[in-house]
Structure 1
Amino acid sequence: MILFLFFCVHSIFSQEENENEELKVVTEEVAVKKKKKKNQKLRPYEPLAPARAAFYSAILPGLGQAHTGKYWKIPIVYGALGAGIYYYKFNNDLYTEARDFYKSRLAGVPDDPTNRLSVLTNEQLIDRQRRFRKDQELSIMITVGLYVLNIIDANVTAHLQQFNVSKDLSFKPKVNFNELGGKPNYGMSLNYSF
């Protein structure tokens, strides 16, 4: 009987409305909404922004990265394209040198003993020409591939800027030390907060 009265009285109190509780809930909701608005720095959705960034990168490499605000990628783009162009020129010069020396040898011009190619046979000169021609074509393909990769990077970056990527959702690698064995435990954790 005492338990019955205890539960009845308790349920009666739980049915009372407290205005302070409602006010507290409303102010917490407002605080959460303000916090969400503060954390959201979303640009308005622009469906043509990725195409525009890709077009800019196609016109001038690195311009699409500047358009998306990734200025630190511009030296990487020019370094990669510059390396490809350098190796093309390097292989072209060596190919031209071997080809000209081979042509002069076939024309009957006596070999210059100071020239480093004078010790090579005709077959070795032909092989040298083939190798440098192949390397020259490979450097052209790599440079074109890097140019296309520059355009793709600008397009993908512009696409990803239209998504809300906040610190509330993060992927953090973490190392814990095993206190029993003294060895590190490696792992990954996916953290999210609401």
Structure 2
Amino acid sequence: MFIVTIGAAQEDSLKISSDKSSKKELKEKEYEPYNALAPAKAAFYSAVLPGLGQAYNGSYWKIPLAYAGLGTGVYFYLENDDQYDRYRNAYKDRLAGRTDEFENRITTEGLIRAQEFYQKNKEISILITVGVYILNIIDANVEAHLRQFNVDEDLSLKPNLDFNRLSGKTNYGLTLNYNF
């Protein structure tokens, strides 16, 4: 199919262009120019304030996920720290000869095991929080890289199902189509 347009300066001149070339021109205008610093900028923003890199990339729905992950890690750290202090104070009271809240319920060895348990959980909570923070930075960086990737409809990957009449089985595969 051809598109015919009349020039603005001269009414009698005609410009004929194919439909495919005009589509390609429109597609080229949709993409932003490549910015090599965009991924580094997004990662820097996320490192300064978690979620800011996602806002820079336009993925606002990921911001609550980042804060939920960080908040959960901090919550469990604080909860385990309170329980560790509780068992630690009971252990110190027992060693000093004073009564503690776990007297006649938990042995001294049980207090030591409880302290070790909550200490380990505190350390795991710190690792999870740091992991979520690092994933936040990596996500912002990778998404900024992928936003600049040209995803054109001329290149497509489609599933291919073919029924083999001789064997009665279905053959599965992928077809890579490139239109130009």
- TM-score computed with the length of structure 1 as normaliser: 0.71
Are 1:27 and 2:13 counterparts? no
Structure 2 residues not aligned, in runs of 5+:
1-15
Q: Which has the higher strand share?
A: 2
Cα distance in 2 for partners of 1:155, 1:136 equals 29
1:45 aligns with 2:31: no
Relative distance call for 1:122 and 1:184 in structure 2 (3 A) is: farther
Structure with larger RCO (C-alpha < 8 A, sep 6+): 1
Change over 3 Å in CA distance of 1:190–1:128 after alignment to 2: farther
Q: What is the TM-score when the length of structure 2 is the normalising length?
A: 0.76
| Pair 187,130 (structure 1): closer, same or farther in 2 beyond 3 Å | farther
**Correspondence 1:148 to 2:134:** yes
Tell me the distance in 1 between the aligned counterparts of 2:173 and 2:25: 33
2:91 paired residue among 102, 108, 122:
102
> Greater Rg, structure 1 or structure 2?
1
Question: Is the Cα–Cα contact under 8 Å of residues 111 and 118 in structure 1 kept in the other structure?
Answer: no
What residue in structure 2 maps to residue 65 of structure 1?
54
Distance change >3 Å, CA 188–CA 74, structure 1 → 2 = farther
Whether 2:111 is the aligned partner of 1:125: answer yes
- What is the aligned-residue identity percentage? 54
How much does 1:105 deviate?
1.6
Q: Give the deviation of 1:89 after TM superposition.
A: 1.4
2:164–2:171 contact (8 Å) kept in structure 1: no
Q: For each residue in 1:110-131, what CA deviation from the matched residue of structure 2 results, as whole angstroms up to 9, or x when unmatched?
A: 244xx5x751111111111111
Structure 1 unaligned segments of length 5 or more: list them: 1-25
Which structure's residues are more often helix, by fraction? 1
